[in-house]
Amino acid sequence: MPQIAEHRFDSRQELLAELLATVTGTLAGAVREQGKASMLLSGGTTPGVLYQQMSQADLEWENIWFGLTDERWVAPDHADSNERLVNETLVQNKASNTNLVGLKSDFPTPAEGCAATEQQNAVLPKPYDIVLLGMGTDGHTASLFPTSKDTPAALDPANSCACHPIRRDGEDVQRISMTLSNLLQAKQIFLFMYGAEKSAVFAEALKEKTDVLPVSHILHQDTVPVTLYWAE
């Protein structure tokens, strides 16, 4: 069983306070030591409050770059866009001058636009100082869904591309996701989730590496340390 650091909290407020301090401290330290910092951000409903709190921190925001772990192939101002979520929560207040690089390019589909996406994301400093991931109750992380025929290729360690198109049956919005190999180009990964149901899925994913629970590929590797941040 992989050795994952687990930080479990009695309340979401405690979790957010600890994660905020860790993230801002890490980014500040990276800027101090390297002159710049980078972090990949997840979308969804869970991290929005964290991003709002981050935007109030006193950091050298102009020297920090943010990318996205995944994205729906929609316009950056679309209601379902992760880029819009980050712009409306993090790229505000004291962080209004930070650097956000999106995953959506001008091509009709992610398959056609993947090369352009890789090019625009090449400006992100690597290794990423932090990759922040969430997890769904189906075991997906980023947009690496167990039901997509594209997920095995995106999880293949031999896939050296930074991103991969993700198509799902029955869903007309296509997606793009960072590949496993790119997510692992990080100094540390934080897995951030709430609730007993997700805690149970996490426990299952710890048992073995399987495409049925894509998050297990993050847990069963020895390249990057992974820390769980969980509250009920």
Contact present, 155 and 178 (Cβ < 8 Å): no
Delineate the domains of the chain, giving CATH numbers in brackets: 5-231 (3.40.50.1360)
Neighbours of 186 (CB within 10 A): 23
What tokens appear for 49 in the block?
Answer: 């409050």
pLDDT, position 208: 97
pLDDT, position 172: 72
Q: What is the pTM of this model?
A: 0.97
- Report mean pLDDT in 10-residue bins for the chain, 232 residues: 90 98 98 98 94 98 98 96 97 98 96 96 98 97 96 97 92 91 98 98 97 98 97 96
Q: Report the distance separating Cα 164 and Cα 150, nearest Å.
A: 8
pLDDT, position 1: 65
- Tell me which residue of 159, 154, 198, 211 sits closest to 177, measured CA to CA: 154
Contact present, 106 and 33 (Cβ < 8 Å): no
For the CA atoms of 14, 19, 25, 26, what is the dihedral angle to 10 degrees? 160
Q: Report the distance separating Cα 188 and Cα 92, nearest Å.
A: 25
pLDDT, position 170: 78
pLDDT, position 45: 85
